[in-house]
Amino acid sequence: MQAVVDWWFRDRSTGAIVIGQLPNATIGVWLAATAVRLLDVLPERERELGWIGSGALAAWGADELVRGVNPFRRLLGAVVLAWQLTRLLR
């Protein structure tokens, strides 16, 4: 069981278990766009804020898919990217 946990969650470069990390710029953009939408600060820009938030999440997912520190983070990136692409194609 420990080998499975290590494979999924261990950072290959530091050896630390990594499930979540401090937010990077793309997550910050998504959080800001989402907060502005939820607080209804710019109701006339809701559509643009949605696109900005979705684009930020897609960029984050692609980055995690390519540069994630462990298989869990890469899988999480793939799921978020697929979710955003699915939403885009609807």
Mean pLDDT in order along the chain per 10 residues (90 residues): 94 92 92 96 95 97 96 97 94
User: Rounded to whole angstroms, how far apart are CA atoms 44 and 69?
Assistant: 39
- The answer to the question of residue 32 being in a domain is no
CA 82 centroid distance within chain: 11
Which domain does 70 fall in, by range? 1-12+43-90
pLDDT at 20: 87
The kind and range of the H/E element at 58 are helix 46-67
Do 74 and 64 form a contact (C-beta atoms < 8 A)? yes
Model pTM above 0.75: yes
Structural domains of the chain, count: 1
Radius of gyration of the chain (CA): 16
Task: Report residue 4 as tokens.
Answer: 């499975």
Q: How many CB atoms neighbour CB 30 within 10 A?
A: 21
